[in-house]
Structure 1
Amino acid sequence: MAMMHRDSCDLAHPGSPCSTVAVVRQIGESLEYLILSDSILALDIIGNEPLVVQDKAVESFASSSAKAASAAGNKRDTDALFTLIQEQQKVRNQPGGYWVAQVNPAAAEHAKSGIASDVRGAALLSDGAALLVTDFNAMDWPSLLEISYDLGPAKLIAMTREFEDRDPYGMVWPRYKHRDDATAVICRLQ
């Protein structure tokens, strides 16, 4: 895909568009999964706690900047966000850094993948859609799955937005922006 853009885009620039990846595929009675970067997968395993799959490599770069910005009284400081992005670009798709889907196909080798059995359903979440569990501690993974099954992903995201709006400057829950991206796909398996 990157090669289709080699004549019109600077693919060597560290700010070239990139993406996190969360994918599941049902194979018979099992579910195959792959996660790359900061997406999160919560697999609802029959008779067990959810299996949560995530790549935390990016967290060390994002959380330290978010905490520093909050400690400095950051009020959605665009300079802090710009600095964070520049720092992330230096370590993105580099040994010792973190990996995303971008122009380097070697990133796929750093994905977390596997196969799970006895899966009742799954939540594929951007990091912003998982905040109710990961950062705000408003619920646990089983609760997130049940709310998502019962009320749908739009309600999950609306609940996330309510918490973000309670702390727009990241003073209670340190982060580098008021609202994060929030994407959720909820699957129920037969």
Structure 2
Amino acid sequence: MVRQNVDSLEYLVLSDSIIAIDRIEGEPLVVQDKSVESFASGRARAASAAGDKRDTGALHALIEEQQKFRNQPEGYWVAQVDPAAAEHAKEGTVSDVRGAALLSDGAALLVTDFNAMNWPALLEISYNLGPAALIAMTREFEDRDPQGTVWPRYKHRDDATAVICRL
């Protein structure tokens, strides 16, 4: 989430969400919480490293391992089932902001996994074409590699949500 003040932008990021903050000077500030990644089981990490995204046993092992640490002290926090998890979010304030993209991890894949563009390009495309176009481009890349052979991942399509703010 973001909140615009007179001369700054406050942000709050939790779990697998990403905010790309478009600053007037310099590169975008990208804020994300990757704490869930430290709780992947060895078996799931091994399958991921081997590129075997169809190993459903590894996926189930990953999910089971992560659930042990979800919304727990020394674990990671997801608002999905516990709104109090927001108390553990990353937060901050940035000045001289032009805009921001609030993204689920699936809407950020063009930068984070597919390396099809960088953050400034994602922001520019989002400003000019809107979030639906950004998600359509993401779906196009996912459909080019439905088995996750080129871009290893656990599922053909991830959730993709984007909110674009111009300030």
- TM-score, length-normalised on structure 2? 0.88
Which runs of structure 2 are paired with 1:52-71 in the superposition (5 Å)?
52-61=30-39, 65=44, 68=47, 71=50
Match of 1:155 in 2: 133
Secondary structure at the residue paired with 1:148? helix
Pick closer, same or farther for the CA change 1:44–1:62 going to 2, 3 Å. Answer: farther
The number of equivalent residue pairs is: 165
**Any runs of at least 4 consecutive aligned residues in structure 1 with deviations exceeding 6 A, and if so which?**
none
Pick closer, same or farther for the CA change 1:52–1:153 going to 2, 3 Å. Answer: same
Provide the C-alpha distance between the structure 2 equivalents of 1:30 and 1:182, rounded to a whole number of angstroms: 27
User: CA offsets, 1:89-132, max 9 Å, x none?
Assistant: 11111233211113362x23321101111110000000000011
Pick closer, same or farther for the CA change 1:104–1:188 going to 2, 3 Å. Answer: closer
Provide the C-alpha distance between the structure 2 equivalents of 1:121 and 1:72, rounded to a whole number of angstroms: 36
Match of 2:164 in 1: 186
CA contact (8 A) 1:29 1:117 kept: yes
CA contact (8 A) 1:63 1:175 kept: no
The structure having more radius of gyration, on CA atoms, is 1
Match of 1:13 in 2: none
User: CA offsets, 1:47-93, max 9 Å, x none?
Assistant: 21101111111123469737615737443x55444333222211111
For structure 2, list consecutive stretches of 5 or more residues without a partner in the other structure: none
CA contact (8 A) 2:70 2:76 kept: yes
- TM-score, length-normalised on structure 1? 0.78
User: CA offsets, 1:133-152, max 9 Å, x none?
Assistant: 11111110000000000111
Secondary structure at the residue paired with 2:16? coil
The correspondence for 1:119, drawn from 97, 119, 133, is 97
The answer as to 2:11 corresponding to 1:37 is: no
CA contact (8 A) 2:99 2:166 kept: yes
Provide the C-alpha distance between the structure 2 equivalents of 1:73 and 1:48, rounded to a whole number of angstroms: 38
Match of 2:153 in 1: 175
Match of 2:72 in 1: 94
Deviates more, 1:154-163 or 1:85-94: 85-94
Secondary structure at the residue paired with 1:98? coil
CA contact (8 A) 2:14 2:90 kept: yes
Provide the C-alpha distance between the structure 2 equivalents of 1:149 and 1:104, rounded to a whole number of angstroms: 30
CA contact (8 A) 1:81 1:177 kept: no
For structure 1, list consecutive stretches of 5 or more residues without a partner in the other structure: 1-22
Match of 2:82 in 1: 103
Superposed CA RMSD: 2.1
Alpha-carbon deviation of 1:173? Answer: 1.6
Match of 2:25 in 1: 47
